[in-house]
Amino acid sequence: MHFSFASVLHLTHPSPVTARAERRPVADGFGFAFDPRWRLALAVAGVRPGTCAVTVGEFLRIRFGPWWLETPIDNVLDAAPVAVPAGWAGVGARAADEDTALFGTGPTRGASIRFVHPAAGNLPFGGLTHARTIVTVARVDELVAEINRPRG
């Protein structure tokens, strides 16, 4: 599937046709760490290990079941390890606070990724703007190092 976006972050829920195409397993990138307590609830929403990953290249791409995020790597300021809210507050695609989009699978540790320009999106929580996102990947420290690696 080909993505073409403006130079700022864009989030969306795919059309049914796109959703079918996006069911292909994610084979590369940084996979999400799934807490077994939330696996079934996430699977019902289409969020499974084979449909979730973060990839870093010319673009930062986050795939989270039927939702995804893509922004040019130049719009990524930095990344750092961060504590994720415990329990249900750390699960799903949601606004963690007024500035943060969360892609959470239950673990209490994730990577906080900050953006140069606040980003607008339309995940299940609506069209808020966000200065950062949190992802609960399995290899947090490796993702943080890759994002913070000097480019150019």
What does pTM read for this prediction? Answer: 0.79
Tens of pLDDT along 31-90? 999 999 999 999 999 999 999 999 999 988 888 998 888 888 999 999 999 999 888 889
Distance of CA 92 to the CA centre of its chain: 10
- Contact (CB, 8 A) for 132 and 62: no
Compute the mean pLDDT over every residue in the chain, rounded to the nearest whole number.
79
Q: Assess whether pLDDT exceeds 80 at residue 27.
A: no
Q: Assess whether pLDDT exceeds 70 at residue 16.
A: no
How many CB atoms sit inside 10 A of residue 74's CB? Answer: 14
What pLDDT, on the 0 to 100 scale, is given for residue 28? 66
Residue partners of 5: CB distance under 8 A and separation at least 6: 70, 71
Distance CA 125, CA 49 (A): 22
Q: Structural domain boundaries of the chain?
A: 10-148
Distance CA 95, CA 143 (A): 21
Q: Find the mean pLDDT for residues 14-25.
A: 36
